[in-house]
Amino acid sequence: MSGTEPGPRSDREPTAAARAELVRQIRAGGHLGDPRWRAAFEEVPRHLFVPYFFVATARGYQRLSGSDHDPDRRARWLEGVYTDTALATYMRDGELVSSSSQPSLMAMMLEDLRVGEREGTGSGCRVLEVGTGTGYNAALMAHRLGTDRVTTVDLDEEITGPARDRLAAAGYRPAVVTGDGALGCPERAPYDRIIATCALPSVPTAWIEQCTAGALVLAPLATGLIALRVTEPEAVRAEGRFLATPAYFVPLRTPVRTPTGTEPAPAGGRRRAPRDALPREALRDERFHFLWSLAAGSLPLDEILGLWRREDRPRRERFGVTVDGSEQYAWLDSPGGPHRWQLGGG
């Protein structure tokens, strides 16, 4: 299959059945209809990229590992690796720094990258991933596209070093770069797709500048996933809508820079609404919390509540984002409509 590089032989691994069951669950949820992405999830061994993870307990966190001497804990580790859930993989001073995303969400995001759109041109997509994490997502993309078309960047060598080793052990050698993800990776540009696996306060303009015209940027923003189509990379112009699914990721651990050198105020991520100021109906409504996360800092609380009520609790996919040079703004229904505000409240 063109663009696909083989990983370890699945028929020689005792975990092949566990991977097959995970794929079955993901397909039952409506994803992995593309046989090439399905093959990637069937053949890339998640357990190789998650040799241990942390689970919350009453006393803090417990580390479960595939090398644990206790067979019960080893069994819990393997079961967790091939369960459709996010896993905490790197803790620092009691704080979660990196995780392995929920596989079904990863599958949905990879499908929504639409990498097949370029196949008719005779060349595959060049993809930049921001947030290497364990390296598992980079391995899936390398399997689908070929390792020479995948670049992945993360802030700490403590993360990229082990990810690079695990990728090599699995048979994949994409470019693994240690650096500020908000700056992209200009030496490997241009990119046809950019995918982020960390929550953003706003869209880094460097990403747009490093894209080709028509490129797609898919990134977590305000507890959702924004899909931006790049129209003019040189002028830093892109626009798109949110996908329907909720998405919660570890935040990008670096300031996002604009062309003027300023740092916009946070635009959400997991910003919490003031519970004592909200009516019960809003407290219980996930759509309200998305809108609050997207608009807080730009709109006062009473305006956010009013918009949410007047528009009948609008779904995520009714919202979008426009990037126009140094300006970024969010909108409801249409970028030229009456409901728009500066992204980030800066």
Chain position carrying tokens 């807080």: 296
Terminus-to-terminus CA distance in the chain, angstroms? 48
The tokens describing 182, both together, are 């908000």
Three-state DSSP state, 211: strand
CB 129 within 8 A of CB 152: yes
CB 51 within 8 A of CB 65: yes
CB 10 within 8 A of CB 83: no
The tokens describing 181, both together, are 């993800």
Active site residues: 101
DSSP string covering 54-100, please?
EEEETTEEEEEETT-S-HHHHHHHHHHHTSSS-EEEEEETTEEEEEE
Which residues are bridge partners to 98 per DSSP?
90
Q: Which helix (H) or strand (E) holds 213?
A: strand 211-221
Say if residue 190 is preceded by a cis peptide, omega within 30 of 0. Answer: yes
